[in-house]
A and B are shown apart, each in its own frame.
Chain A
Amino acid sequence: QKEVEQNSGPLSVPEGAIASLNCTYSDRGSQSFFWYRQYSGKSPELIMFIYSNGDKEDGRFTAQLNKASQYVSLLIRDSQPSDSATYLCAVKPGGTSYGKLTFGQGTILTVHP
């Protein structure tokens, strides 16, 4: 089992729709959870982080965390073509004193007009 697993893509949604990106993790002691967006040929850009169960909203983005199910998701409302990118889920493991992030393989999102 991979440490961090994301729903296989690519994911294609029409402009204005809700895009749902999912991620599961294996380390039950994980502390913090991050979503990065990576445009083709560019480096990852931090867009959301969450550390407690429930929802966290920031503009069109909502991160959801369920530690009991070891599941974290990212919802993008009113999707725009500019949201087309690879979305990376990253987890900070528990039991470490340093800030290693473990990444999933990424989900490619395409928003078509």
Chain B
Amino acid sequence: ETGVTQSPTHLIKTRGQQVTLRCSSQSGHNTVSWYQQALGQGPQFIFQYYREEENGRGNFPPRFSGLQFPNYSSELNVNALELDDSALYLCASSLAISGSLGEQFFGPGTRLTVL
């Protein structure tokens, strides 16, 4: 079974730039969720993608956007980067089926630093 993968591992950008982060879901999973984890905090839900559509969004501005592809992989795009966007970005995959408890499995994350 293939686990969740993310790329790149680390990224350094400057304020105002744009960034794209990528995620491949675990084999057999059809749903991808993105989280932002600031240092010393728990992950914060950004949004979830299911069947290539956004299926729920947390309290993040529109400059955070995403995509899901037919193979269930996903991208997170952040425009107009701000210093506070510096964080660990986590992708989690899950299987959305009736009766599912919603277990989510995380990838290794992308560490984004905004200077």
Contacts and interface: CB of A to CB of B under 8 A. Distances in A.
Interface stretch (A14-22, A38-46, A61-69): A38-46
A105 B106 contact: no
Given A43-B90, A44-B90, A98 B56 contact: yes
Given A101-B33, A102-B45, A105-B42, A96 B56 contact: yes
B31 A88 contact: no
Interface in A17-60: 31-32, 34, 36, 42-46, 49, 51
A22 B11 CA distance: 35
Contacts of A45: 106
Interface string B40-52: 1111110010100
A72 B95 CA distance: 24
- For chain A, which range describes its interface: under 10, 10 to 19, 20 to 34, or 35 or more residues? 20 to 34
Contact of B42 (A43, A98, A106): A106
Nearest to B42: A103
Contacts of B107: 43
Contacts, number: 72
Contacts of B41: 105-106
A104 B42 CA distance: 6
Contact of B104 (A31, A46, A51, A97): A46
Given A43-B107, A99-B48, A51 B42 contact: no
Interface in A76-113: 88, 90, 92, 96-106
Interface of A: 4, 31-32, 34, 36, 42-46, 49, 51, 88, 90, 92, 96-106
Interface of B: 31, 33, 35, 40-45, 48, 50, 55-56, 58, 88, 90, 92, 94, 96, 100-109
